[in-house]
Amino acid sequence: MKALVYHGPGVKAWQDVPDPVIQDATDAIVRIESTTICGTDLHILKGDTPEVASGRILGHEAVGTVEQVGPGVTIVKPGDRVLVSCISACGRCQYCREGRSGQCTGGGGWILGYMIDGTQAEYVRVPFADTSTYPLPEGAGDEEILMLADILPTGYEVGVLNGKVKPGDTVAVVGTGPVGLAAITGARLYTPSHVIAIDLADARLEAAISFGADLTVNNSREDAVAYVNSVTRGRGADVAIEAVGVPASFELCTQLVRPGGHVANIGVHGKPATLHLESLWIRDITVTTGLVDAYSTPTLMQLVAARQIDASRFVTHHFKLAEIADAYDVFQNAAETGAIKVVLTS
């Protein structure tokens, strides 16, 4: 089959590789019908994750049809059309049984396109298929559901649910790339009073408004703390969601949040941040970090099928799988292309 293979920092190729085969009793082979590219794929390609071996097929998001299953697969069967989640869940370890499959100790977690071959290919082997795929619901398009492979549950679980967004809250979202927009989408499910989008780029702030932010701050030229305090009459944001992954944006969140509020970190960080305990120790704040677990995937599917979430808004560009090099170019140059998510179909 054809697949996108990583050959070390900066080098990738859409090339022939052997078809995947069932290795464990709980595996399924899925024929990819649509997949997409994630910011993490770009990180791997840049060489930021030396643990990724050369020769690895990239990608951890897909919708497709099950071709074959191992003898330990009891729910999923050939012919099923499924979402392949970025999180593989062994379903047996203590973390999986508590709904925290992102921390799976039984061989799952985020492994696709990272520790094992991924979904930017014609076929993929999905471990623990019964607990790592989800049947497509009626009433939702494939590419909408594809947005539930990673981005929407990430914004919702790690941003909104960890941040404990509640009706009436003022929510500040720092960083309005794809994951920040997913957090805004998720926050709106709880009817906050205000969602304040904060970013350095006006174009992204405009996107944020179309995703549900009602107020915006360009913090390249405005003082976000002063703005949030003015909106909340000096109280501060109930929830501040970090969706960038740099120390400055995390530290900004800890300044934006009110006493008793929540800072929910979604960003992938490469460096430590400073936690100003000399002022924060007394302020009753809660800081959370996390990888997506995908426990919300069935809920989000219901909401998409019930037309309560419009997931199609994320999809800005379409390509055929064989045009994946072009798709990477467009996605990588989001500042010019306006790309949020690009969809590749077979």
- Map the footprint of its own copies across residues 253-292, applying CB under 8 A: 259-260, 265, 267-278, 280-291
Residue closer to its own copies by CB (options 227, 319) is 227
Nearer to its own copies, 300 or 343 (CB): 300
Rule CB under 8 A: is residue 240 a binding residue for its own copies?
no
Residue 300 found at the interface with its own copies (CB under 8 A): yes
Retrieve residue 215's tokens.
């107020």
- 52 vs 59: CA distance, rounded Å: 12
The site string for its own copies over 35-74 (x = CB under 8 A, - otherwise) reads: -----------------------------------xxxxx
Pick the piece of the chain touching its own copies (CB under 8 A) from 4-12, 199-207, 296-304, 311-319: 296-304
Nearest residue (CB) to its own copies, 276 versus 318: 276
Hey, which residues does 318 pair with through a beta bridge?
343
Size of interface with its own copies, in residues (CB under 8 A): 72
**If phi over 0 gives left and psi between -120 and 50 gives alpha, with beta otherwise, what is residue 128?**
left
Crossing angle for the helix pair 324-332 and 39-46, to the nearest 10 degrees: 100
**Between 7 and 97, CB nearer to its own copies:** 97
Instruction: Decide whether 127 or 328 has the Cβ nearer to its own copies.
Output: 127
Cα separations (Å) of 138 from 66, 82, 132, 189?
17, 12, 19, 21
DSSP state of 207: H
Nearest distance in Å: CB 109, its own copies: 9
Report how far residue 268's alpha carbon sits from residue 150's, in angstroms, rounded to the nearest whole number.
14
Pairing state between β 62-69 and 81-84: antiparallel
Closer residue to its own copies (CB): 276 or 320: 276
Cβ 273 to its own copies shortest distance, Å: 5
- Here's the x/- map for its own copies, 118-157, by CB under 8 A: it reads as ------------xx--------------------------
For residue 193, give every residue at least 6 positions away whose Cβ sits within 8 Å of its Cβ, in sequence order, or none.
168, 169, 170
Given phi > 0 = left and psi -120 to 50 = alpha, else beta, which region is 113?
left
Please pick, from the candidates 167, 220, 221, 336, the single residue that binds its own copies as defined by CB under 8 A: 167
Distance (Å, rounded) from C-alpha 255 to C-alpha 172?
11
Residues in 304-333 at the binding interface with its own copies, rule: CB under 8 A: 305-306, 308
**Please, which residue, 54 or 191, has the CB nearer to its own copies?**
191
C-beta separation of 346 from 122 below 8 A: yes
Among 226, 248, 298, 333, interactor with its own copies by CB under 8 A: 298
Please identify which residue in the block is written with the tokens 């970013």.
199
Among 19, 99, 203, 333, the residue binding its own copies under the rule CB under 8 A is 99
